[in-house]
Amino acid sequence: MDRPIGMFDSGFGGLTVARALIDLLPAEDVVYIGDTGRYPYGNKPLDEVRDHATEIATSLVSDYGAKAVVVACNTAASAGLDKLRADLPVPVIDVIEPGARSLITTTVSGRVGVIGTVGTISSGSYVHAVEAAAAAAGRDDIVLTSAACPGFVEFVERGQTSGDEVMVLAERLLAPIVAADLDALLFGCTHYPYLARVVTDVVGTGVTLVSSADETAFAAADLLRELGLLRSSADRVGRRTFLSSGDVEIFRELGSRLLGPELDSALPWPAR
Ligand code: DGL
C-alpha cells in the first residue's frame, strides 16, 4: 500500500528507530513527528503524555495518511499504547515488546537491566514486557534491574552526547546497574543509544547494550508484510518527511547530525 509509515517521539530519540526503519525498508515513505515543542515526556504525568501521543498519532493518520504508526518513544508507549491501539484505525507498533524480546535473546547469565525515563520505569511496562518475553522464550532465570535516568534525554536534545557533565550523571544514575552485575542492558528510551559510548564507559564492555531500534524495525516490517501493507514497488527511494512542534531549524540541524543526510529539511507540526 502506497501510503507512508507514521512515526513519532517527544523529539530526536525516535530517529534511532527511523534510521533502522529507513535502512530496512528503503522504498517506504516515512512521516516522522518530533514533539520538541513539548519535550521531554519522561517527567510528565502519564495521562498528559497519553494525550500528546493520541493527538500526534491521530494527526499522522488523518493529516498525513499513515498506513501504520510506530510509537518510537518508550514513555508514550508506556503511557498510551492500549489507547492508541484501541482508537486508531491502523496497526500500531511499539518499541517495548521488541526491545524486551531482544534483551532476552541477548542474555546468557539471565541478569538483565533496563534504563529509561522516570515515566517509563515507574509505569512498570518493562517489568511486564520482560516477564512476557522470558515466558515466551521458556526462560525462568531472568532477573531484571531497572533504573530511571532523568537528565539523559535533555543532554541528547542539546546534542551533548559526551563530556564530563554527562559522564558524572551517568556514573551516579547507573550505579545500581553496575552493582547488579548484568550481561545485557536495554536502552528503554529511544534517546539513549546516542549515549552508548558514555554508558559503555560506565558499565564496562562485558555488558551488551541492546537497542530496540532494529528489533522494532523488524517487527514493523513483519507486520506490514503480514497485513499486505508494504509498498507494491520496492524499486524506489522513499520520501521522508520530518516534522517538529518546536524550532524546525534546530530540528533540521541536530536531526541531520543524529539521523544522517535523509533529514535535510524539517517542517512545522501542526502544519501552519
Ligand atoms: N525518547 C523517549 C522515550 O523513549 C522520550 C524521552 C523524553 O521525552 O523524556 O522514552
Question: Where do the structural domains in the chain lie, given as residue ranges?
Answer: 5-94+214-268, 97-212
> pTM for the complete prediction?
0.95
Determine whether the shortest distance from the Cβ of 10 to ligand 1 is under 6 A.
Answer: yes
Here the cell at position 118 is 522516570
> Per-residue pLDDT tens for 98-147?
999 999 999 999 999 999 999 999 999 999 999 999 999 999 999 999 99
DSSP label of 36: T
Residue 244, helix vs strand vs coil? strand
- Distance, C-alpha 35 to centroid of its chain: 13
Cα→Cα distances 157→14, 34, 37, 213, Å: 12, 11, 11, 18
Q: What is the CATH T-level fold of the domain 97-212, as seen in this structure?
A: Rossmann fold (3.40.50)
> For ligand 1, atom 2, which residue shows the shortest CA distance?
73
Pairing of strands 30-34, 68-71: unpaired
Residue 19, helix vs strand vs coil? helix
Tell me if domain 5-94+214-268 and domain 97-212 are identical in fold: yes
Here the cell at position 189 is 528510551
- Length of the chain, in residues: 272
- CA terminus-to-terminus distance, the chain: 28
**Measured between alpha carbons, how far is 188 from 74 in angstroms, rounded to an integer?**
6
**Measured between alpha carbons, how far is 191 from 10 in angstroms, rounded to an integer?**
10
Looking at the CA of residue 40, tell me the nearest atom of ligand 1.
8
pLDDT at 233: 78
pLDDT at 201: 98
Contact between residue 29 and residue 238 where contact means Cβ atoms under 8 Å apart: yes
**Marked catalytic residue, from 103, 130, 134, 189:** 189
Which positions of the chain have pLDDT values less than 70? none
Say whether 189 is catalytic: yes
Question: What is the CA(206)–ligand 1 centre distance, in A?
Answer: 26
**Measured between alpha carbons, how far is 4 from 63 in angstroms, rounded to an integer?**
11
| Structural element, H or E, at residue 268 | strand 267-268
pLDDT at 1: 74
**Measured between alpha carbons, how far is 208 from 182 in angstroms, rounded to an integer?**
9
What is the b/e burial string over 214-248, where b = at least 16 CB atoms within 10 angstroms of the residue's CB? bbbbbbbbebbeeeebbbeeeeeebebbbbbbbeb
pLDDT at 36: 97
Question: What is the CA(117)–ligand 1 centre distance, in A?
Answer: 6
Contact between residue 193 and residue 211 where contact means Cβ atoms under 8 Å apart: yes
Phi, psi for residue 266 in degrees, rounded to 5: -140, 145
**Marked catalytic residue, from 15, 73, 121, 185:** 73
Pocket test for ligand 1, best of 52, 190, 194, 216 (most atoms within 8 A of CB): 190
Question: What is the CA(189)–ligand 1 centre distance, in A?
Answer: 5
Q: What is the CATH T-level fold of the domain 5-94+214-268, as seen in this structure?
A: Rossmann fold (3.40.50)
Pocket test for ligand 1, best of 73, 94, 154 (most atoms within 8 A of CB): 73
C-alpha dihedral sign at 65, 228, 92, 189? negative
Pocket test for ligand 1, best of 9, 93, 186, 210 (most atoms within 8 A of CB): 9
